[in-house]
Amino acid sequence: MNWIIEDKCFDKDRIICNGNKFLTGNGYMGFRGTMEEFTKSEFTCCNLAGVYDRYDGKWRETVNVPNGMFTTLICEGKELSLLTAEPAEHTQKLDLEHGLHLRKTLWHTSYGDISVTAERFVSLDNIHLTCMKYSVRFEKACKVVIKTGIDSRVWDINGPHFESCDIGTECQSIYAHTITNELKISVEVFERLLFDFNANETIVSSDDGIFREIEINALPNIEYTIYKYVSVYNSNDGVDDIVAAASHDVSQAAKFGYSTCFAAHAKRWKERWNISNIKIEGDEEADIALRYSIYHLQIIAPHHTDQTSIAARGLSGQTYKGAVFWDTEMFLLPFYLYTDPQTARNLIKYRMKTLEGARRKAHEYGFRGAFYAWESQETGDDACSNYNVADVFTGRPMRTYFKDKQIHISADIAYAIWETYEFLGDDSIIVDGGAEVILECARFFYSYVYYKEDKKRYEILDVIGTDEYHERVNNNAFTNKMVYHTFDIALKCAKFLECNYKNEYEKLMDKIDFKDDLENISRVKKNLYIPQPDETTGIIEQFDGYFKHEDCTLEQARERILDVKEYWGGANGIAANTKIIKQADVMLMLYLFGNEYSKTVKQKNWLYYEPKTEHGSSLSPCIYALVACETGNSQWGYDYFMKTANIDLTGESKQFAGSIYIGGTHPAASGGAWMVAVFGFAGLHIVNGEVTVSPKLPKKWERLSFSFIYKGEEYMVDITKTEGRVWKI
Amino acid sequence: MNWIIEDKCFDKDRIICNGNKFLTGNGYMGFRGTMEEFTKSEFTCCNLAGVYDRYDGKWRETVNVPNGMFTTLICEGKELSLLTAEPAEHTQKLDLEHGLHLRKTLWHTSYGDISVTAERFVSLDNIHLTCMKYSVRFEKACKVVIKTGIDSRVWDINGPHFESCDIGTECQSIYAHTITNELKISVEVFERLLFDFNANETIVSSDDGIFREIEINALPNIEYTIYKYVSVYNSNDGVDDIVAAASHDVSQAAKFGYSTCFAAHAKRWKERWNISNIKIEGDEEADIALRYSIYHLQIIAPHHTDQTSIAARGLSGQTYKGAVFWDTEMFLLPFYLYTDPQTARNLIKYRMKTLEGARRKAHEYGFRGAFYAWESQETGDDACSNYNVADVFTGRPMRTYFKDKQIHISADIAYAIWETYEFLGDDSIIVDGGAEVILECARFFYSYVYYKEDKKRYEILDVIGTDEYHERVNNNAFTNKMVYHTFDIALKCAKFLECNYKNEYEKLMDKIDFKDDLENISRVKKNLYIPQPDETTGIIEQFDGYFKHEDCTLEQARERILDVKEYWGGANGIAANTKIIKQADVMLMLYLFGNEYSKTVKQKNWLYYEPKTEHGSSLSPCIYALVACETGNSQWGYDYFMKTANIDLTGESKQFAGSIYIGGTHPAASGGAWMVAVFGFAGLHIVNGEVTVSPKLPKKWERLSFSFIYKGEEYMVDITKTEGRVWKI
């Protein structure tokens, strides 16, 4: 069982990619996998969850904080870094088991060999704390300065986000105190340094930050080690005095020492892995890729709070504005439900908290109920722009419709809340906010639907399905089905409350004045049009008129590309008028409502849509893998599983949409990989409380084993070539 | 009173423009105002009404026929033409009174001065006939060849349209017999030549056509004159033997001689002008511009047949595929109604004839009833492409929605039929086909509307109004109002038939199974949403959400242009997300339903929308002029009137949409100019059979006088500075 991700050479062109690949974090903050001597030009950043700022009318996004880990070497007056000198040897590692980032670099220099070894972790034990051990060794005697401190040259996509950055010293610590532009949120970074060799320490500060210069007359073959403790707090933390807290944390850490801090951190990781690790035997590549995916799910989740959720690019930076998308509910939630119910609850609570924002959005568009943000930040108001992509040919912003037409977002959230309630069996999810969200989502859809008198049915017009390459379509099968489901659970929800929590029911009905809409929803549900499989072919048309689009192959579409960064969607994109789709759409419907469609229908639609799918979204391959497993084609599913699980390991994903940078990690793919392993290959299903597996292991796999929690009890799953077992432990 | 349009110099850059400006025609065919020696590279063409062909999958369009008028000079072995030698003097003229094209050119050459004088006309007396008198005179003796014949180098936009072109001689005529690719329509061109000087005539033929070479040893200061008679027939003419007919026509014409042919032609023009001429005193520029507009309305109309209608660019070529647009019903019909009722009837009959095509189109899009073609050809099937504009930045076809979303076309046709019926007071228009069209259009709209339960109203979604720069909008005020009107007249129409033509009513109801839909239409009409003037501002929102678009000025929009040919509309056009509109939209509604809106509302909306209107369509300025007149601002209207009336005189109109050539004449502007003079400045109105004028002459104008026919009786209108009179004569 492998726990190590490793790169054994240094490649300048992979600096940004490795920043994602070697990410560490703890849900409160993420630290990109960059070298200690890197700064903003290498996209070094410590990204803070849930703290947003807008600067100068640009896109609102999460903030990155000054980098307390910055450390570089100055040997005989010249900086020695990966950016100034080619290394003789270089290794970058991620120890998944302990959430530990490691680097080792050797340079042959005119002053002899010089090596740097560093390890660091973003603590799981104290979410505000980051610790580093940094050692340097010289072959020959050398006059050297270790420059280390807080680098305030912050990498931003739409920054700068701090209207001020005060730096200074306090006792033995140095600090940067920053205040955001828009909401005047204070962000505090404290750094404390320890070392036990003779050196002359000077503190220097400039516009670049505040640094310690540790001058050493280094002797040959002695290891000089420094220990850095950095704490980050912000004024949304619910802590009275964040300066005192930040100062205290680094002092305490320094007092306990690196090993103790690490031990506390490692203990938390052990707890996490105990429940969430999955072992695959017979396929090392799949084994490590899946473990790596789970690692990512662990470092980005708000274990500690229900005030934030998970951004689409996790904590790897500001891509997509650090906003929360439907990814969380549809691709991430299952992992947390099965391994970390409290975090699952937190994710759901975040949507309850942002209900007011969803109401405002519905109202803004002339609807009632809750129209959730396509890109949700702390208030639930939509951070999504009407112009999300730039036209590469004209440089002009392109009108996109993610925000106003991708209405399935409200259905996704309702779906997730109901799933959480059903899985956890916890009434409080419905009673304490869940029902209100579900009903308001249903009300939104009621106010959205139209009645087509001439066809005697309700229709859902002018939407974008999950396939974003086809804009403003009518009766998208997935969307219509999800809306139907929302109506269905809204009625169930109301019934449940009425029967079991009569007082709460009456209070809620009064509060949101819902009785008429309950009738409306019930009536519309009976007559809502949902595209069905064609009687002859079995194919479900993705939306009205999809079949009339040009039948062009992916290869043909690719040949039409004029600019590698051009957007495939939009009104004039190369996919827009063809049958080429961005991602699983009908397929996602067949997965989510799998019990309502026959194996034949699934298989036919898979074969029809699969060659047409570009997988321009990392949310797509896992769904094709899941449906392939359901139709007994797990080997087809295997390739998609590997694509999903490997996405951040290989770094082979789209870096641009139009001319907008969209790089970063892909949590939804990580969640999708987990889903494929658990629901696809192991075939884990829970129906009416009965837990079963129906294994469909890929050929190579000898064994697949994992555990999960269901209604407070831990289960083990063990699948071999010959049998599949699931049992309570 | 001026009747002459004249250009007194030769400008190579205006060849194409003058081809439009000096157009002659007779409704059966149009002959561009090019010089006798010009060929396809100068866009010379004889364009045939209503004969369409598709070549090699390209756009289907009207055909141009081999040019029987071709004539050039070869002096001492060298061609002498406007293309080979700069003239010393050159005049091109159009005699509007007699529909006569004239040219006079003088060259100073090394053989002395040489002058060419030519006049030609497309006969109004025999619609198949074109006649020319061509004279040449030499200062010095000269060996000269007049090369004249049938030029088969046909200018085509989407051709070539003839799968074969046989040329030959028959008795004294030469001919070209061509057959179209698609429908195998024969087109016959015969030419007969007469001259009465000594010359040696040889007939030569090649791929370029068949020509006579008339060798003359020209003497000084003698005028050598040839007379050419060309006839054109096609196998849709309803003539048994078109070869015999064509041959016969040129023989007869030659027998009668040029003067006799011209006299017969001129007599017809006199009849036409007697009823349609308008005199403006005090403003010569306006006087000639309006007369020129009326000239155009005369040369393009199907006086002779109800099988064709008027193409958007008249008979000036193949632009817009020679197809019939809404222009005919909304901008041309009024002129014919008031001056030439039989032609008005023909235009309406054409729509009755093409009802089946409209039914097919409705069915194709999943609707019932009649969805008329946006670009209608002989069958009424839609010639409009889904990709009507090419993206100038990528060269790719752009998806446009004229065809599928500009649903107001069916309402326009219903409106026009009802107007015609009411104006002519002729029940047969309703009984013999009109009612069926109106009911089927109403049925189409019934099948198109949606009910918004949450707002308790019917809405019309996903359309393009007349402002084509905003695609796929909801509740376009103009469209909704036109649909309401269609419902209204459908109900009136049914009632009228039921009361007055019981048998025909029952037969029609049975034939089209309409009784249920009559109830449906009645119900929907009561509850159809029509955007109303805002209570505070009085402004009617052009469509849902228009007010939220960017408020940018025309100047700002123009500054954003990156390519002069770029299309302003489409999803990413520079106007699409702004309030900039292409043409009168709300304004057209206020004009058509003027009696339902107060003067204040008209004025407020004029002031609001006028600065936002680019007038990217020639259909726009006249509407602003008309509403300006209604609100007492005829001086504002004057500028727009002049813009409209002058469009083909100045040639200052858009020549490209994307990279597609859209040049040609602008019949709708000609019709619009007539409307502004008659309905705007004279204020002619007929309400309940009572004819009134309410003059609003522009400052400069001393007098405005014209006649018209109403219910078989001729009326005169005479407006002076001090009084306005209308009387029956």
* The pLDDT of residue B1: 86
Which 3-state string (H, E, C) describes A134-146? EEEEECCCEEEEE
Q: Which residues of A touch B451 (CB under 8 A)?
A: 450-453
Please indicate whether, in this complex, the C-beta atoms of A459 and B450 are within 8 angstroms of each other: yes
| Cβ pair B450:A450 closer than 8 A | yes
CB A168, CB A191: distance < 8 Å: no
Q: What are the tokens at A502? A: 């009569």
**Whether pLDDT at A681 is above 80:** yes
Q: What is the DSSP letter of A40?
A: G
Report d(CA A123, CA A229) in Å as an integer.
10
Nearest to B431 by CA among B348, B334, B371, B331: B348
Residues sharing a CB contact under 8 Å with residue A238, sequence separation 6 or more, in sequence order: none
Tell me the C-alpha to C-alpha distance, in Å, between residue A190 and each of A170, A423, B261.
Answer: 9, 42, 103
Report how far apart the first and last C-alpha atoms of chain A are (Å, whole number): 23
Do B602 and B680 contact (CB within 8 A), yes or no? no
Residues of B in Cβ contact (< 8 Å) with A452 = 450-451
pLDDT of the residue at A618? 87
Averaged pLDDT for residues A440-467: 98
User: What is the spatial distance between Cα A249 and Cα A670, in angstroms, rounded to a whole number?
Assistant: 32
CB contact under 8 A, A368 and B454: yes
* d(C-alpha A260, C-alpha A711), whole Å: 35
- What is the C-alpha to C-alpha distance for residues A150 and B590, in angstroms, rounded to an integer? 67
Cis geometry, peptide bond prior to residue B160 (ω within 30 degrees of 0): yes
Residue B205 pairs in a beta bridge with B210
Choose the closest CB to B576 out of A391, A399, A577.
A399
- Residues A556-590 pLDDT 10s: 999 999 998 899 998 889 999 999 999 999 999 99
pLDDT over 70 (residue A657): no
Q: Where does residue A600 rank: exposed (0-12), middle (13-18), buried (19+ CB within 10 A)? A: exposed
pLDDT of residue A1: 86
| Beta-carbon separation of B396 and A572 below 8 A | yes
The number of helix segments (H) and strand segments (E) in chain A equals: 22, 30
Q: Read out DSSP for A91-129?
A: EEEEETTTTEEEEEEEEEETTEEEEEEEEEEE-SSSTTE
Closest CB to B399 among A447, A524, A576:
A576
Write phi, then psi, for B550 (nearest 5 degrees).
Answer: -65, 135
Joined tokens for residue B409 = 């076309």
**Which chain A residues are within 8 Å of B461, Cβ to Cβ?**
450, 461-462
- From A440's Cα to the closest Cα of chain B, the distance in A is 15
Q: Which of residues 497-526 of A touch B (CB under 8 A)?
A: 520, 524
What is the distance, to the nearest Å, from the Cα of residue A417 to the centroid of all Cα atoms in its chain?
19
Supply B352's token pair: 């009755």
- Element housing A404 (H / E): helix A402-405
Residues 6+ apart with CB under 8 A from B242: B186, B188, B233, B234, B235
Cβ(B174)–Cβ(B191) below 8 Å: yes
Closest partner residue to A572 (CB to CB) among B399, B453, B459 is B399
Interface contacts A/B by beta carbons within 8 Å: 78
Task: Please answer whether residues B145 and B216 qualify as being in contact, where contact means their C-beta atoms are separated by less than 8 angstroms.
Answer: yes
Closest Cα of chain B to A523: distance in Å? Answer: 11
pLDDT reading at A215 higher than 80: yes
Mean of pLDDT over chain A: 96
Q: Do A462 and B459 touch (CB under 8 A)?
A: no
Q: Distance (Å, rounded) from C-alpha B652 to C-alpha B616?
A: 12
Two structure tokens written together for A97: 């088991």
| Binary contact (A454, B462; C-beta < 8 A) | no
Tell me whether the omega of the peptide bond preceding residue A160 falls within 30 degrees of 0, making it cis: yes
DSSP state of A578: B
**CA angle, residues B253, B258, B260, in degrees to nearest 5:** 80
Q: What is the pLDDT of residue B651?
A: 82
Residues of A identified as active-site: 468
pLDDT of A726 strictly over 80: yes
**Type of residue found at A366:** G
Q: Which residue of B has its CA nearest to A566?
A: B394
Residue A357 is inside which H or E element, if any?
helix A355-364
What is residue B728's three-state secondary structure? strand
Structural contact between residues A74 and A111, judged by C-beta atoms closer than 8 angstroms: no
B453 vs A451: CB contact, 8 Å cut-off?
yes
Helices (H), B106-232: none
Is some CB atom of chain B closer than 8 A to the CB atom of A392?
Answer: no
Distance between CA atoms of residues A237 and A254, nearest Å: 22
Residue of chain B with shortest Cα separation from A367: B454
| Residue closest to A37 by CA, chosen among A114, A110, A99, A97 | A114
Q: What is the pLDDT of residue A651?
A: 82
Worst-scoring range by mean pLDDT, A252-261, A384-393, B213-222, B712-721?
Answer: A384-393
Examine the pLDDT at A160 and tell me if it is beyond 80. Answer: yes
Q: Please indicate if any CB of chain A lies within 8 Å of the CB of B595.
A: no
Chain A residues lying within 8 Å of B577, measured CB to CB = 386, 399
**Reported ipTM:** 0.90
The three-state secondary structure class of B161 is coil
Total-model pTM: 0.93
Please indicate whether residue B468 is annotated as part of the active site.
yes
At B657 the pLDDT is: 66
Residues B275 and B303: their CA atoms lie apart, in Å, by 15
* Model confidence at A313: pLDDT above 80: yes
Per-residue pLDDT of A286-304, as tens digits, reads 999 999 999 999 999 999 9
- The structure tokens listed for A361 are 């959005």
CB-based burial label for B660 (10 Å; 0-12, 13-18, 19+)? middle
- What's the 3-state SS for B676-711? HHHHHHCCCEEECCEEECCCCCCCCCCEEEEEEEEC
- Assign B372 to helix, strand or coil: coil
Q: For residue range A461-494, list pLDDT tens digits in order.
A: 999 999 999 999 999 999 999 999 999 999 999 9
What is the model's pLDDT at position A423? 97
- CA A451, A454, A459, A465 torsion: positive or negative? negative
- CA separation for the pair B432, B438 (Å, rounded): 12
| CB contacts, 8 Å: B399 with chain A | 571-572, 576-577
Contact predicate B540/B533, CB 8 Å:
yes
How does DSSP assign B207-241, residue by residue? TTEEEEEEEEEEPTT-EEEEEEEEEEEETTSS-S-
For chain B, which ranges sit under pLDDT 70?
Answer: 656-660
Determine whether the interchain pair A450/B451 forms a contact, defined as Cβ–Cβ distance below 8 Å. Answer: yes
Q: Round to whole Å and give the CA distance between B416 and B404.
A: 21
**Cα of A239 vs its chain's centroid, Å:** 26
- The beta strands (E) that lie in A569-694 are given as 656-657, 660-661, 685-687, 690-692
Q: Is B576 on the interface with A (CB under 8 A)?
A: yes
Encoding tokens for residue B639?
A: 């500028």
Contact B222, B211 (CB under 8 A): no
Determine the pLDDT at residue A658.
64
Express as a percent the part of chain A with pLDDT over 90.
95
CB of B340 closer than 8 Å to CB of B376: no
| Structure confidence at residue A388 (pLDDT) | 86
B493, B422 Cβ separation under 8 angstroms? no
- Residue closest to A146 by CA, chosen among A211, A223, A222: A211
Neighbour-count burial of B516, counting CB atoms closer than 10 A to its CB (0-12 exposed, 13-18 middle, 19+ buried): exposed
The whole-number pLDDT of residue B655 equals 72
**CB of B552 less than 8 A from some CB of A:** no
The closest of B160, B151, B174 to B63, measured between CA atoms, is B160
A8: pLDDT strictly greater than 80: yes
Cα-based distances in Å from B371 to B364, B368, B436, B440: 10, 8, 13, 8
φ/ψ of residue A15, rounded to 5: -60, -50
H-run or E-run covering B195? strand B186-195
For the CA atoms of B410, B415, B420, B423, what is the dihedral angle to 10 degrees? 180
Local structure of B670: helix, strand or coil: helix
pLDDT of res. A661: 73
Residues of A685-703 as b/e, b for ≥16 C-beta within 10 angstroms?
ebeeeebebebbbbeebee
- Distance to chain B for A56, nearest Cα, Å: 19
Q: Which of B75, B76, B87 is nearest to B35 (CA)?
A: B87
Which chain B residues are Cβ-neighbours of A577 within 8 angstroms?
Answer: 386, 399
Spatial distance between the Cα atoms of B483 and B496, rounded to a whole number of angstroms: 20
